[in-house]
Structure formats: structure tokens, C-alpha cells
Structure 1
Amino acid sequence: MASDDCSKDALLEDGRADSGIDSYRSLLKSDEPREPREPSSDPREKASAADERLDSAYGSSSITELVEGCTISGSLEKPAKACEQSEREEEDVLTSITEEGDTILHLAIIHEEDVITQHLIQLFPKEVLNIQNNLYQSPLHLATYLNLPSVVKSLVEKGASLELQDQHGNTALHVACQQGQTECATEMTRYASSDELALVLKIQNWRGLTCVHVAALNRQHQILRFLIKTGANLNIQEGTSGKTALHLAVELHDVASVKLLLGNGANVDAAMFNGCTPLHLAVGRQDASIANLLCQSGADTMLRNMEDETAQDLAEGNDDILALFPFDDIQISGRSVVCKFLAES
């Protein structure tokens, strides 16, 4: 999925939700629309993105100071000075956006102020729940980064989108798969329709990876099992070289993932764009153990890649792997007979 900077920027702009703050301001009858903010061009790693904003433009003070005096569903206790604040001041707090593009809901989640977060979710319309900050993170992204399943549940129940992508092209479900947050992933998908879930599971980030690829790359076996139960396509190819999750597991020498994928219907002979099968990769990495697993699952040793090489060709000089392969002249129903020498020895 390699693309030039211009097309990537276009994708980012298309993927970002329309600013719901202006919509919410109109609901509050405010006459001062906010100018849209330009996304940050400074690349930052997602693992530290949430932490970078813990000391945001509002400083390190508690987020509760920002909502003192604001009317939130009428159920938060208000200090005495709240009575003196004007309705307009309350609106300004609720509809303000920081220099980093964070709404008060983003900040409440970052500070893990659960009571305030839950009230804001109920107060705001769906459009505000889907506002993305300068890193293109929605409140759902942040709740997932911080592993807050109760917040994820409330956001999804209220209609927060599962399809929004951050600056790396990751949906919130990508984040859950990367970090192994099964509870958050469960809450995200609990209320999704089968069509919506199928669409989200097909979304590729800017590296061309779907959720199942991300889970495999990060050795997240529990999440991988979860994705299998949700009906994820184990044979879907990532967008840069056509690898399936099985190819990635083989490259990582991850025996557990290889067994899990093969046991749940992954195509043992899936070919990359260059024609390499998982067996080509296992042999090329001289991994006799995984090559043996693939052979036992019926891998075709005679399939050729674009270099016109079979897995047997790549195994020359490696007696352990060659011992797995059949004699060329012994075939049954057109397929080579797999020798299970290592399995029986």
C-alpha cells in the first residue's frame, strides 16, 4: 500500500471525522464556530501518543477543574462557584479544543476520570464522540490505548465509529490487537452488525495490515483466537507483499501461531505476490520445526515462486529439511507423498 505523501494526506483527510464540535455548538445555540485545526505533521509513535498529551495545553491540573460548574446531565455535584458561571462559559468549556486537537472528552479519557467521561459520553451527540485530534485519534482510540473497556463499551453503545483510522491508519480494533486488549476488542465488537464487523476486519492500516495481521505480528495469541471466533478471514493478504497471517507467523518462528492458524483453516499453500508460500519462507529461514508442521498439514513442496524455485530447491544443503520432503516420483492423486521422517524419528 505504498503511496506518495500527497495521496496519504488525502487518505488521512478522508478518514477524519467532520468536526462535530461545530454541530454541538449549534445545538447549544452558540454563534462562534471554531476554525478547523491542521493535523500535526510531527511523526510520533502511537505507544507514547496518549502519554504525550497527559500534560496538554490545559497543564497538569486535574481534568475535574475543567468541568467545575458545567452542567453535565444534572447529576454531577457542582461547587458553589458553579452557580455564578454563565451558560456561555459552560458551553466554552464543553466545546473547546486544545492545540493538540483534544476535546474535553479526549482529556477526560486521558486522565482516566471515569465518572466525568461517562457523563460526557451521555451528554454529547454521536458526532462529537467521533472527533479526532491532531494524531487522528478518536476517544475510542484513546480508551483502547489506555485499556478502559467500560469506556469503550459506553462509546460503542452510543454509536462511536469503529472505522475511524489514526495517523498510522489504525482503527481502535487494530490498537486492541496490537496491545492484546481482548476485553476492549470484545466490547468493540459486541454490538457491531455482521456487515459492520466484516468491514472493520478488512480495513488496512497505512502499512497494509489488517487486524489479523497485527495480531500475528505481535504474537497476540489470545486476540488471534478472538478474531478467529469473530469470523476474521485468516487468508486475507496484507497490502504490500501479499502475506497472510500464516506467512507472518512463519517469519517470526512463532510455532504457537502457526499451529493455531493451521488448526483453524488457514491456507497452508497461500502464495505471496512473489509466489512464495509459507513453506518457502520456513525453508528459507532454515526452520525445520515449522517446515515439518507445514508438511504435516499437506503443504505442496513443489510449488514454484516467481524465481521459479520450489521449497525443495531452497532446502538444498539442509539435510534436516530435505528429510521432510518426498521423492519427486512418488505421487498420489497428483500430489507428492509427504515423508514424515522427522515426525516419526
Structure 2
Amino acid sequence: MSRSGGGDQDGKPDLDENRIDSGIEYALREPREQFPSLANSEEKDKHSTDERLDSAYGSSSLTVDSLGDFIEECRISKCENATDCQYTEEEVNFLTTVTEDGDTILHLAIIHEELKFAQYLVDLFPPELMDIQNNLYQTPLHLATYLNLPIAVKILVEKGVSLELQDQDGNTPLHVACEHGFWECANEMIQNTSPGKLANVLEAQNWRGMTCLHVATLHKRPRLMRLLMKNGVHLNIKEGTSGKTALHIAVEQRDVAAVKLLLNKGANVDASMFNGCTALHLAVGRQDAAIAHLLCQAGADKMIKNMEDETALDLADGNDDILALFPFDDIQFMGRTVINYSM
């Protein structure tokens, strides 16, 4: 996706030359699939791009032409600082316009990757205006993350926007970065947020009950897992629907590298889900001898019972590789080996 210049490479005519004085491209770009709000607008007005983004308020409309006209009138070169500019009532109304999809002009600047104009708006707006959520509950920070724009993320986070706001799926921007593997975006959020505020973000659950660590583990993002661990994530936090820890999820994904990483960082090998199952129950139930062996090496208790009164051994189902992990010549009390007759 091009970020500069006008041109006719997409079959669209060049816009007026005086609209690119500040280095901003005004040609309409194709929307990303992540933004159905924008796609829906295009579907409604696919025969007329001039009115594809209508405001939900009053009779005014936010169009590509009006966006270009406004930037032309308020070029960055006119003021040393955006906050020093004097705006007419019409310009103020334009800046605060919201489309029928709930997008502000800052949402649109980020969607079209107009980073210079986005910086201009960030300098102008107070944080509360930059935290407005569209109809999908996405903030500009959500959109900057979906598009993997770490520069835009840095600009927004340094201005003090909220990292805790959740979209329609309950995802914070950091959830989004962890799901899609956008390490640089996640790092900008983490490095530019105070430890106190970051702790709340790391514990936030989406509507599936998952924290950022759960999401990073589910989508096999080891680099992001390490970043979260380095910045104080709680390794044994349970997701809200079934009580799985990141270790449970790694076992379910048969992700040996993630299991090793979590165990090496101190994850509780015997943490149980709401149904009483430990990671070892899950490994044995899946007949995964390799991961079961790792868990046993880390000291997993083989005699813990789940709510069905089953130990991991009960789930072995005759698998010789699994059964080899459960010696029968030990005397155990309360799940702990007391005497080992093989010595």
C-alpha cells in the first residue's frame, strides 16, 4: 500500500497539486478487511465515492473531497504548532464530525495511513477526543494496531490515549497486537505506558476471557510472550471461561517451545482449570507423550484428581509411552513419592 505521492497507478486521477504541499497523499485507498465499518460504507455508496462516509449527525457529510479541502485550508505549514492555529466555526465542526460508522477524522486519517495529518490531529486534540470509539468500538489506537503502524501507535500512546478500551470483541489494542504478531506495536504500547497502567492492561480479558498472554500463546507468538513476561505479566493468570492458564493453552496447541518457555519462566506446572484438570491431564488426554514428559520433568504431580475424580494416569488409555512416565514401583502419599523401590 503506497504511503506517498499522487499518481495514477491505481487508475485514479491525480488530485490538485496544491493538496500535496504538506506531503500527504489524498488519493482514496482501498480499505482493509479489518474495517467492515469502512467497507460497509463503500458498499452503500459504491457508485459514488464522494459520499461514502456520511456523518451520523445533522445534514453535513464527511467526504473525501471535504477532507482534502479542509487539509488544504489548514496546511501544517500555516502554523508552527497545531494548537496555535485559529479555526473557524465551520472548521471546528468539521474536526469534530463523526461519520455514520462512528469514525472521527482521526480514525479516517489512520485508516488511510495519512500519518503526517494524524500527527497534526494528535497535536491538536485532547486525549478524550482521541479515545472516541466507532460503531465497532475501535479507537484510533485499535486501528493503528490493526494496520501495524508502530509510528502511529507511538504518537497516540505518548499523547496519553487509553490502552484499556475494548472493541466489540473485548480486545484492547494490545490484544490485537498479540493476536496478529505485531511486536513493534506492542512494544510501543508497553514502553510508553507506566507500570501501574500497564498492569491493568495485562490483566484485561476479552469477551472470550483471554488476557494478552493467553492470546499470544494461542496464536503461537513466542516473541510477544517474551515481551509480556519481561514486563511483568502474571504467568499463572486464568482465562475467564474455563480457568486455563497459558500453560494449559500451550499444551492444547501442542506447542512444545511455548511449554518449555513457560516452564523455564516459572509457570505453575500443577495449576488447575475450573474442572480440576492440570496441564498434565490435558497432555495425557491428548496422548502427547513428549509434552507429558516435559511436564513430568518439571515436577508435575501425577496423582492430582480432576472433578471427574481422574488422575492423569487414568487418562493414559493404554498408551505405553505415556504409561512409562508413571512408574508403579513407587509408594506415594498425597500425590508425593515417599519410597522409590527402583533405587
Please report the TM-score for the alignment, with normalisation by the length of structure 2: 0.77
How far has the Cα of 1:57 moved from its partner?
Answer: 1.2
In structure 1, C-alpha distance between the alignment counterparts of 2:69 and 2:149, rounded to whole Å: 21
Aligned counterpart, 1:120: 121
How far has the Cα of 1:68 moved from its partner?
Answer: 2.8
- Share of identical aligned residues, percent? 62
CA contact (8 A) 1:73 1:123 kept: no
In structure 1, C-alpha distance between the alignment counterparts of 2:266 and 2:69, rounded to whole Å: 52
How far has the Cα of 1:192 moved from its partner?
Answer: 1.5
> Which amino acid in 1 is paired with 2:187?
T
Q: Which runs of 5+ in 1 are unaligned?
A: 1-46, 78-85, 340-345
Give the SS at the match of 2:35.
helix
Cα RMSD, aligned residues only = 2.6
> Which amino acid in 1 is paired with 2:326?
F
Where does 1:92-107 land on structure 2 (aligned, <5 Å)?
A: 92-107=93-108
Q: Does residue 57 of the first structure (1) align with residue 58 of the second (2)?
A: no
In structure 2, C-alpha distance between the alignment counterparts of 1:302 and 1:296, rounded to whole Å: 15
Aligned counterpart, 2:33: 48
Aligned counterpart, 2:185: 184
In structure 2, C-alpha distance between the alignment counterparts of 1:128 and 1:67, rounded to whole Å: 19
How far has the Cα of 1:61 moved from its partner?
Answer: 4.2
How far has the Cα of 1:88 moved from its partner?
Answer: 2.5
In structure 2, C-alpha distance between the alignment counterparts of 1:285 and 1:318, rounded to whole Å: 11
How far has the Cα of 1:143 moved from its partner?
Answer: 0.4
Aligned counterpart, 1:41: none
- Over 3 Å counting, the alpha-carbon distance change for 1:68 and 1:194 in structure 2 is closer
Aligned counterpart, 1:163: 164
In the TM superposition, what whole-angstrom CA distance separates every residue of 1:6-61 from its partner, at most 9, and x where no partner exists?
xxxxxxxxxxxxxxxxxxxxxxxxxxxxxxxxxxxxxxxxx933265164516994
- Over 3 Å counting, the alpha-carbon distance change for 1:66 and 1:240 in structure 2 is farther
In the TM superposition, what whole-angstrom CA distance separates every residue of 1:201-254 from its partner, at most 9, and x where no partner exists?
111111111110010111111101111101100100000000000001101111
- Over 3 Å counting, the alpha-carbon distance change for 1:325 and 1:103 in structure 2 is same
- Over 3 Å counting, the alpha-carbon distance change for 1:191 and 1:68 in structure 2 is closer
Q: Does residue 132 of the first structure (1) align with residue 133 of the second (2)?
A: yes
Aligned counterpart, 2:241: 240
Aligned counterpart, 2:150: 149
Aligned counterpart, 2:280: 279
Aligned counterpart, 2:265: 264
CA contact (8 A) 1:168 1:206 kept: yes
Could you list the structure 1 runs, at least 4 aligned residues long, displaced by more than 6 angstroms after superposition: none
Q: How many residues align?
A: 286
How far has the Cα of 1:190 moved from its partner?
Answer: 1.2
Q: Does residue 71 of the first structure (1) align with residue 74 of the second (2)?
A: yes
In structure 2, C-alpha distance between the alignment counterparts of 1:287 and 1:334, rounded to whole Å: 22
Q: Does residue 222 of the first structure (1) align with residue 207 of the second (2)?
A: no
In structure 1, C-alpha distance between the alignment counterparts of 2:265 and 2:65, rounded to whole Å: 48
CA contact (8 A) 2:289 2:321 kept: yes
- Over 3 Å counting, the alpha-carbon distance change for 1:76 and 1:52 in structure 2 is farther
CA contact (8 A) 1:177 1:220 kept: yes
CA contact (8 A) 1:275 1:304 kept: yes
Aligned counterpart, 2:18: none
In structure 1, C-alpha distance between the alignment counterparts of 2:231 and 2:66, rounded to whole Å: 37
- Over 3 Å counting, the alpha-carbon distance change for 1:66 and 1:321 in structure 2 is farther
Of stretches 186-195 and 245-254 in structure 1, the one that deviates more from structure 2 is: 186-195
- Over 3 Å counting, the alpha-carbon distance change for 1:338 and 1:293 in structure 2 is farther
Please report the TM-score for the alignment, with normalisation by the length of structure 1: 0.77
Q: Does residue 324 of the first structure (1) align with residue 320 of the second (2)?
A: no
How far has the Cα of 1:298 moved from its partner?
Answer: 0.7
In structure 1, C-alpha distance between the alignment counterparts of 2:300 and 2:65, rounded to whole Å: 58
How far has the Cα of 1:325 moved from its partner?
Answer: 1.4
In structure 2, C-alpha distance between the alignment counterparts of 1:308 and 1:226, rounded to whole Å: 38
- Over 3 Å counting, the alpha-carbon distance change for 1:66 and 1:153 in structure 2 is farther
In structure 1, C-alpha distance between the alignment counterparts of 2:134 and 2:104, rounded to whole Å: 8
CA contact (8 A) 2:331 2:339 kept: no
In structure 1, C-alpha distance between the alignment counterparts of 2:157 and 2:277, rounded to whole Å: 40
- Over 3 Å counting, the alpha-carbon distance change for 1:75 and 1:234 in structure 2 is farther
- Over 3 Å counting, the alpha-carbon distance change for 1:229 and 1:64 in structure 2 is same
> Which amino acid in 1 is paired with 2:291?
I
CA contact (8 A) 1:149 1:187 kept: yes
The one of the two structures with greater contact order (alpha-carbon pairs below 8 A, sep at least 6) is: 1
